Each structure stands twice: as C-alpha cells, then as structure tokens.
Structure 1
Amino acid sequence: MPAKPNFVYIFCDDLGWGDVSCLNSESKIQTPNIDRLATSGMSFTDAHTGSAVCTPSRYTLLTGRYCWRTELKDGVGGGYSPPLITPDRLTVAEMLKQNGYRTACIGKWHVGFDWQLKDEFGDDAMPRHLCREETRFDDMVDFAKPILNGPTDVGFDYYFGISASLDMSPYVFIENDRATDIPCEIVPRGTTPEARAREGIGAKGWRHEDVLPALRDKSIRFIKQEAAAGNPFFLYLPVNGPHTPVVPNAEWIGKSGAGLYGDFVMEIDDVVGQIVATLEEAGVRDNTMVVFSSDNGPETLTARYRESYGHYSAWKFRGMKRDNWEGGHRVPFVVSWPAAVTAGSTCERFVELVDFMATVAEIVDADVPETAAEDSRSILPLLEGDFSSDCRPFAIHHSCNGQWAIRRGKYKLLLHSGSGGNRSECPENNDPVQLYDLEADLFETTNIYADHPDIVRELRELCLSCIKDGRSTPGQPLDNDPNGEWRQLEALLRLEV
C-alpha cells in the first residue's frame, strides 16, 4: 500500500442519491466531475450516513462515534450552538495530525463553537442547549473576541468557513478562531422555498452566493501550499450546498434541467472538478484519496421537482432528509485513490460514513485507543477489492426526531411508527415498528414485522445492547454522554414487540 496518502473529503449538504448522474441515469442534473471521480475510483451503491440530518452526521464522520451518544439526542445545532466534540475526544483530524499530517477544515462546521459574549452579559446568559432559532444571541456575542473550542481545537491546523448551515446566523466567515468581519447588517429572511434562510446578523455586504467560491479558493490554496511543501495533508471540505438557501452564481443559472437546485448542484460539481485538477497540477493526485459524499438525503423541497422537472433527488427510495427510510440516509459515496483503488469499480456492500476514521487509521497505521472511534469499522478490504469481506455486519440509523432503525443483512427494522422525521400520511403510522426485507423490497413498501416476530425482537435487542454498551464495535463497554432525560430511549425500552 502506498505510504502516507493525502486525504480530501468533499462533503455535500443535503445532496440526494438521485442527484448524481453516475448513480441515477435519469437525473436531470449532469455531474460530469463527480462521474469522472467515480470512473477513476470506486462507487458505493449502499452507503449510509450516521444520521438523517446535518449536525449528527458531521460529528459521526469526524469522530467515528454515533452522535446520539452525545448530549444531542435529536435535531441539529444552530449557528451559536456549543461544541459537541469534547476536548478529550479523538477526531480523525487529530489522529492524522499526530501522524505527521497537515490538516484543514474549509467549509460548514456545524458541530458547535464556544462564542464569547459582550462584557455586559454574564457567562450564564448563553444556555448550553440552543434552539437553532435563537437569533436573539446576534446582539449578545462579541465578534471581536476569539471563538473558542472550534475546529483548530480538535485537530485541524487551519479552519475557514461558516459556523452552521447557510440559513442560520451569524452570516460571517470564520478563520481559525476569529470572525473575519464584525457583523453589522441584518441579512433578510429568504422568501421562497429555494431562498429559505433565517433573518439574522451578517458581515457588511454579505452575499450567500459568495460562500461556495470562497471555500473553493481557500481549498485550492491549501492544497497547493501543502503539496509544494511536501507535506501529507488532510482536507475536509464540507460545502454549503445544495442546502438552502439554494444560491447558484449567475453563470450557472439555467445550466441544469432541474431549476435553481439543479444549477447549484452543477456548480458544486464544478468545484469537485477544480479540486481534482489542483491535485493533478500539484503532482499529488495519484496518492491522494478523494472521498465524495453527502451528510444526509435531499431536502423535502425537492419533492416538487418530480412533477416540475421529472427529477427525483432521492431516486426511487422512500423518504427524504430527516427520515429513517432509505431516502433519508442512503447517499452518494465515491472513493478515488488511483494508487490503490481500482478505477471504475463498484461496491454494493453495505457501509456507513462512520467507518472513515477506522479506515484511515488502518491506512496510516495509526493507533486508536479503545475509547475512540467506538462505532467505526475499516472498509479498507472493500477498497482493495475484497468484496467478500463483511466489514459492517450491522449498523444503526438515526432520524431527526432521535428515533432508531437497525440494519443487519437484508433486514432493516425501524423501531418506531412513521418516518421518524418528516410528517407523512402512511399506513405505517399505525404500526409500532417496521420491518423491511431490502433484498426483496428495496423501496420499503411492505411492512413485514408481524410475519417475523423473532427477527424484530432480535434486532431490537441488538440495538439496545449497542446503546447500553456505549459502542457497536468489539471492546470494553463505554459510557454515553449524560444528558438527563433521554425520552427516545425510554420509549424504546417501553416498546412491546
């Protein structure tokens, strides 16, 4: 295996499985650069996020640990939410830094900062748990003070980006531990589904459409700098789209066959192409693992594109972002590493994005303590072409409402009624649980829980043991983070099946 490969992880925000043309031949959005990435490497058809929403998926990717083990038991954080990654938590960035890598996060962070308040407010004025709607903190934060416990405190040498989703204030770039400007203007609320963004404070002249190009340019600069210095590097690039506000720049409007959303996806695809081109120009492409994926399924606004444009962002899968059905967490996942991964290969084995940390650890021969990456399993055998390897015997999915589903082999058990996230009228709203045979029923049309009570009980107990043991991989039991009431677990314990 090649020594010390570089790692570039491009992480989209709300990109659906059906938005990528190499996966969905009927897509109304063309993604030639993502398609070329797949042609140069391995495309996974059965890859899943650690959650059906933003914040927990990002925590899971960076730590190799399911986010529901933290104090965030459901939902997502906001622009002023406190940090989820504790100082003693090993991240993939810190692990690589300890092994001689230069590390950068350039993009949407969304796993929390400790913002400092103006002197007239007490330390207790900023509550530990923040609703994402809490824009009243716009006037309380001192943007001239350092921003504490962010990316540069958990393993990244450099950070540039935005604190949370682009529809959440504060609308200002952060570089390392400082805001690049003092927010002084009110950015108005978006008035259409695509333009949806909360009103909030922002930097002078802030334009949402400037964010993606800024992330691209900073990423290109980092790659050139580290390649020229001969340093192995890790670039984590969580882009801000196609999450709302959907803001393609003028030169991309009208390029796709799926409205502004499709245009925005095409602009993101172009960023992918420019990143890969930079690696090639710097002479490091061959020994760089480029990973492309998304944090969850597509936003519900794309459902109307089925009728308007004939475009299916979640393809034929049931559900969308927030849901425990497949459309909520099955995502595009491409790994291109010319020096080690066979070009043009396809893997149909079941994997999760939580597996990134264990995989990287095996590649660089890093030591990972038993108390870290407790839900992560290496998929290196799959990348090497051994598709007989059962890297992931089972996995736990998690919805926006904090409810669980568990998948083992062909069976998937949703330990709740309905979607677990979005409201929908469906027969399963009256069923206590849902069991699907994904080999026979990939689109989850027929609930067979009543026909297989033994499988339901077995999977429920497996899920419970993974929750109680604090880990889903072999090793010593660990504690989940305390959070007082855990109503979803209490409901699961009461569930009679």
Structure 2
Amino acid sequence: MKFRLSCLALCGALLMVPATWAATAPPNIVIMLYDNLGYGELGAYGGGILRGAETPRIDQLAAEGVRLTNFNVEAQCTPSRSALMTGRFSIRSGTYKVSGAGSPEGLTLWEVTLAELLSAKGYATGIWGKWHLGSSETRFPTNQGFDEWYGVPRTYDEAMWSHADESVDGGPTIGSKQGWDEKLMPPQYIYEARKGEAARQVKKLDLASKRNLDAEIAERATAFIKRNAAAGKPFLAYIPFSLVHMPTLPNPEFVGKTGNGSWADALAEVDHRAGQILDALKAAGVEQNTLVILASDNGGEATHPWEGANGPWRGTYFTAMEASLRAPFIMRWPGQVPAGKVSNEIVHIVDLYTTLAQVGGAQVPSDRAVDGVDQLAFLTGKQANSNREGFPAYVADRLSAIKWRNWKLQLIQQDNMYDPAVVLPLPRLYNLLTDLREEHSVTVENTWAVPRMMSIAGQLKASFKKYPPIEAGTPDPYSPPQ
C-alpha cells in the first residue's frame, strides 16, 4: 500500500513538472518599433480619431500594460536604434547621426547587441524591417546576433529615388532630367539573410515595395513566433515596421479605408499590424509568457505632406525639442506588469537594453561604458520611481540639451530640423510641467538647478577619458585604446 501511494505521489510530482517549467521558462520578448510615429498619433496618447483613424488594438494593449508619457529616444533614426541595440548613447558608438548612402556607417562588430546577449542565453532572434546600423554586409544584423532578417539596411527615403519625376501622393516632384539615375547611385534593395549565410537581394526598394513591406514584415514575424513557440524555444522578435516613415503610404488594402486620406489610412494599418503580432502570440499559446513593447524610434515626421502629430510638444525630430525626444511607449507582460499603469517618470531607450538583458537572464558587458539602467523593478510596479532622473540629449555630435526630473536645459536652440542650430549665449531652462512647449525660459529664477543638470553632461564627458567614443566611420576590426 505504501509502495502504491509512493508511486502515485511520484506520478503526481512528475505531472506537475511541465507546469513548473512553463512558469519559469524564459519569457519571449517582442519589440514593435514604429518609425517616426509621433507622440500624438495613437488613441492612447490623445490621437487616434483626431488623426482620422482609431487605434483600438494598440489602445487595448496600453490598457493591459504600462504606458509611459516620458519615454525618451535619440534625435534621429540611427542613433535611437543604436541605443536600443547597445544600451549606449550613440555618441559613444559613432552612430550619432544618419549617414547617407555610400558613407561609411554603422555599428562596429566590437559592440555587443541585445540580440547577441539573448542569443547566448538560448534565444532565437529575428528582425524584420529597417536595420540602419550598417549597410555593408559584414555589418548586417545577421552578423550582429540575429538569426534571420528581412528588410532594408538604410532608410525609406530612397524608395522615392525611382519616382523622382512623379508626384508621390501630393509630394514634391522633380524634373526627369534632374532626377535619379541608377548609374549615379544604385538603388537600395530589400534583403533576406540568415546567420552564417550570404544575404540575398530580394527586390528593389521603391514605392510599390514599400507599400507592401509592413504586410511582409508582419507575415514573417508571425511565422517566426509560431515556429519557435511550437519548438518551445524562447525568442526575441524585433519588428521595426516601416510606417509611418516618409513617404507615408498605406498598403493597397488600406487605401481609402478611413476616408480621411493616406495618413489616416496608414495609421489604420499601423494598428492592424500590431494586432496581427498580438494575435499570433495568442494563437501560438505564448501570450502569457511574452513581454511586448510597442514604441517609436523618433518624433513625428517633419516634411510636407507627411508631417506627424507630436501631441502637446513643440518642435521636430533631428532637434532636442520635446517633440523629438518624447515618443510613445507601451509595455505588456501578463502577470508581471500592472495593467493600466501610466507614468511620467523618465525612461530612456538605452534602458531597454539593460532591462531586457535582465529579463532574459543575460549580463551586460562590463568592459565598456553602458548607459542604460535596469528599469525592471519600476516597470513591473515593484517601485514607484524610475531608476533614471535625467540624461544628456545629443543631436548628431552636439550636446544640445539636458533633461533632469521635470526640467529641461537647452544649450543649443533648434526648433525644426530644417532650422540652423544656434548655440545659446545663456542656457534656457524650462519647467516641462508648466511650459510644455518650451517657450518661457526660467533660468534666472532657478539657477540652483543648472549646476545639477550640467553635472549630468560632466559625468558623461568624464567617462569619455576612460572609454573614448568611437569615431563615426570607424572600420572593423575595432579595439578600444588601452
């Protein structure tokens, strides 16, 4: 009898093992990074129907997780993506500005990406969309920790090259004699690549292929999710969608969907693509053990006729104005992140590297400066405050502003990306709670705050002595100076 009871107890224990393993399995990580999706576009951030299209799937995601109102990025596409992948301010990595076609650019292979960290912990890693961190094949994402990639190395502006003599949904036109010539500048291609294999050019990037790209991104990302979920393998799915980067053109299936023009149709597609990813997680049975982040790499577009909406903030990207630095950020992780939480605490995109490394059980490198701080306790509601109070804001290689708590110190004034950058003779201090549009400097009556803010920049510059920044265009192999 005792033997039978022992066997029953053992069988019961064995039946419990899979459930225990499932509870402690490494969480999957999904990052949906939209391109130049301004602060004021989504319904959860005051946009949605005000921009001509509701965003119900993303708004529901926000209701199920935490939404930040003070999530900060860098001023351009390449710097933000570099900061996400390395946890380092882009001024350190030589990736502080967008480089044009034909220029040496991208991350050196010395950098350790988030994909490399998680891959070493057994994660499957995939990226679909714009990389923008190296357009030579040696610096493609499949040489930087990703198992697979489908997308473009640089940016979407180049989709307009072959249409330079045509109007792009009301956009600018150029006479054909002055237009693009493939002999002068080769077209950009959409690539497909797998780790350890040569990348393959799939098709040219033009207006037609850009319109269809987000549908392809969603299709490939969902297949990756289902494949790895079925195999029981944890995964990092990095999904940098193309929308709403100019030219802001919706998929043909969405043209006319809202009746409010191309921009609203594109916003409707943004919401739909997010829904496709979320549905794939649920269908694959991994929704409960997946951390989902939805964010933007920059503020809204600044070029007519594709201008974005930045909510209450003034300015454009490629500046240090709040419209450039603040971007939407939503994070859902069932059972871990409190639902419906909204916070105005400062978080920077570099923090995602350190935080997600912690989630995946990886250690950040200790042989270099890592600027990201671990925000896991804050985002999961275990503490009320962010572990970050401020940061220096660079525009390209110019220290342009410093944020600290609810204060903003502008050192260089530039409201619009097309305006000249003017070094201010006296820094302008703004209270971002009472002056959202940064119009009334209160430096004189609050000089007490300036030394504290300048110390943030001082600490960063002091660290350059120990860890010298990498110069833009530095070739591989790179080794830091001893």
> How far is the alpha carbon of 1:105 from its aligned partner?
1.0
Q: Equivalent of 1:48, from 72, 97, 122? A: 72
- The whole-number CA distance in structure 1 between the counterparts of 2:213 and 2:165 is 17
Q: Which residue does the alignment assign to 2:31?
A: 9
Contact 1:3 1:364 in 2 (8 A): no
- The whole-number CA distance in structure 2 between the counterparts of 1:406 and 1:205 is 38
Structure 1 residues 371 and 429: CA distance shift in structure 2, 3 A = closer
- 1:32-431 equivalence runs, <5 A: 32-49=56-73, 51-73=74-96, 75-114=97-136, 147-168=137-158, 186=162, 188=164, 191-192=167-168, 199=180, 201=187, 203=203, 206=206, 207=208, 208-256=210-258, 259-301=261-303, 313-372=309-368, 374-400=370-396, 402-419=398-415, 421-423=417-419
SS state at 2:45 partner: coil
Contact 1:64 1:372 in 2 (8 A): no
SS state at 2:327 partner: strand
Contact 2:35 2:298 in 1 (8 A): yes
> How far is the alpha carbon of 1:388 from its aligned partner?
2.5
Query: Which amino acid letter does the alignment assign opposite residue 292 of structure 1?
Result: L
401-410 or 330-339: which moved more?
401-410
Q: Which residue does the alignment assign to 2:459?
A: 465
> How far is the alpha carbon of 1:370 from its aligned partner?
1.9
Q: Counting helix residues as a fraction of each chain, which structure ranks higher?
A: 2
Contact 1:89 1:372 in 2 (8 A): no
Contact 1:167 1:196 in 2 (8 A): no
Structure 1 residues 189 and 451: CA distance shift in structure 2, 3 A = farther
Q: Equivalent of 1:19, from 27, 38, 41? A: 41
SS state at 1:467 partner: helix
Structure 1 residues 303 and 42: CA distance shift in structure 2, 3 A = farther
Deviations 1:260-295 (A, max 9, x none): 122112112100000100110000011111100111
Q: Name stretches of at least 5 consecutive residues in structure 1 with no aligned partner.
A: 115-146, 172-185, 306-311, 472-476, 485-497
Structure 1 residues 243 and 482: CA distance shift in structure 2, 3 A = closer
- The whole-number CA distance in structure 2 between the counterparts of 1:293 and 1:205 is 24
Query: Which amino acid letter does the alignment assign opposite residue 93 of structure 1?
Result: A
Q: Which residue does the alignment assign to 2:6?
A: none
TM-score under structure 2 length normalisation = 0.80
Structure 1 residues 16 and 258: CA distance shift in structure 2, 3 A = farther
- The whole-number CA distance in structure 2 between the counterparts of 1:385 and 1:322 is 33
Identical positions, percent: 30
Q: Which has the larger radius of gyration?
A: 2
SS state at 2:387 partner: coil
SS state at 2:229 partner: helix
Query: Which amino acid letter does the alignment assign opposite residue 322 of structure 1?
Result: F
- The whole-number CA distance in structure 2 between the counterparts of 1:196 and 1:382 is 46
> How far is the alpha carbon of 1:89 from its aligned partner?
1.1
Aligned residues: 423
- The whole-number CA distance in structure 1 between the counterparts of 2:36 and 2:114 is 22
> How far is the alpha carbon of 1:442 from its aligned partner?
2.4
Query: Which amino acid letter does the alignment assign opposite residue 55 of structure 2?
Result: T
SS state at 2:157 partner: coil
Structure 1 residues 479 and 391: CA distance shift in structure 2, 3 A = same
Q: Which residue does the alignment assign to 1:449?
A: 443
> How far is the alpha carbon of 1:440 from its aligned partner?
2.4
Please, what is the CA RMSD of the aligned residues? 2.8
Deviations 1:138-172 (A, max 9, x none): xxxxxxxxx2221011110111111121112699x
SS state at 2:393 partner: strand
TM-score under structure 1 length normalisation = 0.78
> How far is the alpha carbon of 1:421 from its aligned partner?
3.6
294-303 or 450-459: which moved more?
450-459
Structure 1 residues 108 and 170: CA distance shift in structure 2, 3 A = farther
SS state at 2:342 partner: strand
